[in-house]
């Protein structure tokens, strides 16, 4: 249980750090990046920024639900929700490969890191759904 708690804490900390970085990018850097792009590239920037937001929102919702289970605030079944706790997989799992040269490097880095974290959390979700509840 200690190893699982440490792993969860590390994942939660990583997600929170990435969320802060993404917020800072959108608030302070993205407007400058946007001003240097052509209209089609601005549209791509907007779409990928929304993808970043969707990923991080889903990751944090899942992690906060798991934290609530650990605190005894909700049951494991409630935390896992329906068959689709990490909804919008087709949006969040999309890989921005091939568009990297069209995106500002900072955004591409955030997209890459958020996708890798999303994949890890999706695996955890899958494992949690397959394992019977302890106890």
Indicate the DSSP class of residue 37. Answer: S
35 domain residue, yes or no: yes
Give domain status of residue 66, yes or no.
yes
Q: What is the reported pLDDT for 96?
A: 60
37 falls within a domain: yes
With residue 54 as reference, give the H or E element that holds it.
helix 39-70
pLDDT for 55 beyond 70 = yes
Domain tally, the chain? 1
Q: Would you say residue 91 lies in a domain?
A: yes
Q: pTM for this structure?
A: 0.84
Q: Give the pLDDT score at 32.
A: 96
Do the domain assignments include residue 19? yes
Tokens read off for 85: 């706790």
Q: Are 86 and 62 in contact (CB under 8 A)?
A: yes
Please state the rounded mean pLDDT for residues 32-43: 95
For a pLDDT cut of 90, what percent of the chain falls above it? 50
Q: What CATH number is associated with residue 55?
A: 1.10.8.930
Mean pLDDT (the chain) is 85
Closest CA to 97 of 86, 105, 108: 108
pLDDT score, position 123: 87
For residue 98, being part of any structural domain is answered with yes
Predicted confidence band at 35 (pLDDT cuts at 50, 70, 90)? very high
Q: Which are the contacts of 18, defined by CB distance < 8 A and separation ≥ 6?
A: 56, 110, 113, 114, 117
Residue 135 placed within a domain: no
Is 34 within the bounds of a domain?
A: yes
Say what the pLDDT of residue 2 is: 43
Residue whose C-alpha is closest to residue 46's, from 28, 27, 26, 29: 26
Domain region containing 96: 2-130
């Amino acid at each position: 249980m200690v190893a699982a708690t440490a792993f969860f804490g590390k994942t939660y900390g990583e997600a929170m750090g990435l969320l802060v970085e993404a917020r800072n990018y959108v608030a302070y850097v993205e407007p400058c990046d946007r001003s240097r792009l052509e209209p089609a590239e601005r549209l791509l920037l907007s779409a990928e920024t929304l993808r970043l937001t969707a990923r991080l929102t889903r990751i944090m919702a899942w992690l906060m639900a798991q934290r609530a289970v650990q605190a005894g605030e909700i049951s494991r079944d409630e935390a896992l929700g329906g068959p689709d706790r990490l909804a919008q997989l087709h949006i969040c799992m999309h890989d921005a490969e091939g568009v990297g040269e069209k995106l500002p490097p900072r955004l591409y880095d955030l997209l890459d890191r958020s996708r890798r974290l999303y994949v890890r959390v999706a695996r955890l979700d899958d494992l949690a759904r397959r394992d019977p509840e302890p106890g």
